[in-house]
C-alpha cells in the first residue's frame, strides 16, 4: 500500500483525481468513534485512510480512544490510564452512540493496525498532549516496529515535540503537525518539527498556504469539515487530504 510520505500521497491524489479521504475516528458521524465498527464502516465508505487517537492502559497496552477519560463514550468512568486492558475490555463503547452498537469494545491499537493491514488502509495515529505522551509514543514506536507497519502509518500531534522526536528516532516514518489557526509561516511551523504534513483545522485553510506547503514538499491534510458547505470549502482550497466524520458526504461531493 502507498505510504503517507509526500511523494506517495501526492501520486495517489493525482491518480484518484481528488483529495484523499481520511475517516475521522473512523466514520464517527455514523458509528461510535474509534471503534472497529467505525473503522470498518469508514472503509466501506471508501476512505483512503483512517484517523484515530491512542492512550496507554495501566498495564501498558495502547488502546484506541479519544478522551483521557471514559465517561463520554463508554459505560465506564475515570481515567483510561488507571485501568488495565482487561478492565477496559469489559466496557461498552457503542451503546452510548446507539443501542444498535451495544457490545462494541475499545480496540487496541494492535487490533486496528492488524485489521488495517489486511484491508491495506493507512492509519493516521494522533498522540494527544498528555503528561505521559513520551511513554505513549515509545510504546507506539515499539508496536509499529514489531508489526513492520512503519510505512503504513502517519504520526500526528498538536504537541509538535512528538513528530519532532519521532522524526529523529525514525526518519523514514511519516509525521504531521496539527494546529488550529493560520500561522504566518505554516511551512516553517512544519519544518521546525521535521514534519512531512501540515494538518490545520479546515476553517483556517487557504489555497495560498497549500501552494506554499507543496513548494516545500509537504502535504496538507485538514480536519474536520462535516457539513456540505464546510466540505465544499475544504475541497475548493486544494488540500491533499480531508478528515471528516462523514466520508459518505465527502464522497458524494467529490463525484
Ligand atoms: O485529525 C485531527 C483531529 O482528529 C484533531 O482533533 O479532537 O478530533 O482529535 P480531535
Ligand atoms: Ca484525533
Residues in the chain: 255
Rounded distance between C-alpha atoms, residue 186 and residue 200, angstroms? 9
Task: Choose, from 24, 30, 55, 160, the residue flagged as catalytic.
Answer: 24
For the chain, helix, strand, coil in percent to 5 are 40, 20, 40
Cell numbers linked to 31: 458509528
Instruction: Please give the pLDDT value at position 7.
Output: 97
Span 171-213, pLDDT tens digits: 999 999 999 999 999 999 999 999 999 999 999 999 999 999 9
Is residue 33 lining ligand 1, measured as CB closer than 6 Å?
no
Strands 62-64 and 49-56, how do they pair? antiparallel
Burial of 60 (0-12, 13-18, 19+ CB in 10 A): exposed
Q: Are 215 and 174 a contacting pair, CB within 8 Å?
A: no
Instruction: Please give the pLDDT value at position 2.
Output: 87
DSSP state string for 40-76: HHHHHTT-SEEEEEEEE-TTS-EEE-SSSBSTTTSS-
Span 137-171, pLDDT tens digits: 999 999 999 999 999 999 999 999 999 999 999 99
Is residue 165 lining ligand 1, measured as CB closer than 6 Å?
no
**pLDDT averaged over the chain?**
98
Is 66 assigned a catalytic role?
A: yes
Determine phi and psi for 244, rounding to 5 degrees.
Answer: -140, 155
Average pLDDT value for residue range 85-103:
98
Task: Choose, from 30, 43, 55, 66, the residue flagged as catalytic.
Answer: 66
Is residue 243 lining ligand 1, measured as CB closer than 6 Å?
yes
Longest CA–CA span in the chain (Å) reads: 49
Q: Does position 81 have pLDDT exceeding 90, yes or no?
A: yes
Span 18-62, pLDDT tens digits: 999 999 999 999 999 999 999 999 999 999 999 999 999 999 999
Rounded distance between C-alpha atoms, residue 233 and residue 92, angstroms? 36
Amino acid at each position: 500500500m502507498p505510504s503517507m510520505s509526500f511523494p506517495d500521497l501526492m501520486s495517489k491524489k493525482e491518480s484518484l483525481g481528488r483529495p484523499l479521504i481520511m475517516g475521522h475516528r473512523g466514520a464517527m458521524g455514523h458509528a461510535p468513534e474509534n471503534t472497529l465498527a467505525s473503522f470498518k464502516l469508514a472503509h466501506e465508505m471508501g476512505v483512503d485512510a483512517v484517523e484515530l487517537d491512542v492512550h496507554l492502559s495501566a498495564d501498558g497496552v495502547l488502546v484506541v480512544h479519544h478522551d483521557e477519560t471514559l465517561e463520554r463514550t463508554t459505560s465506564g468512568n475515570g481515567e483510561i490510564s488507571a485501568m488495565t486492558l482487561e478492565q477496559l475490555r469489559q466496557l461498552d463503547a457503542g451503546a452510548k452512540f446507539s443501542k444498535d452498537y451495544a457490545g462494541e469494545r475499545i480496540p487496541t491499537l494492535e487490533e486496528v493496525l492488524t485489521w488495517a493491514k489486511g484491508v491495506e488502509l493507512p492509519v493516521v495515529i494522533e498522540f494527544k498532549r498528555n503528561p505521559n505522551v513520551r511513554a505513549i509514543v515509545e510504546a507506539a514506536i515499539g508496536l509499529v516496529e514489531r508489526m513492520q507497519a512503519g510505512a503504513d502509518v502517519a504520526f500526528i500531534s498538536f504537541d509538535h515535540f512528538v513528530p519532532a522526536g519521532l522524526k529523529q528516532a525514525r526518519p523514514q516514518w511519516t509525521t504531521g503537525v496539527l494546529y488550529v489557526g493560520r500561522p504566518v509561516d505554516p511551512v516553517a511551523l512544519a519544518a521546525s518539527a521535521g514534519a512531512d504534513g501540515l494538518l490545520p483545522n479546515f476553517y483556517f485553510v487557504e489555497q495560498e498556504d497549500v501552494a506554499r506547503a507543496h513548494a516545500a514538499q509537504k502535504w496538507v491534510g485538514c480536519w474536520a469539515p462535516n457539513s456540505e458547505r464546510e466540505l465544499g470549502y475544504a475541497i475548493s482550497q486544494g488540500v491533499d487530504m480531508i478528515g471528516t466524520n462523514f466520508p459518505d458526504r465527502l464522497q458524494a461531493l467529490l463525484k
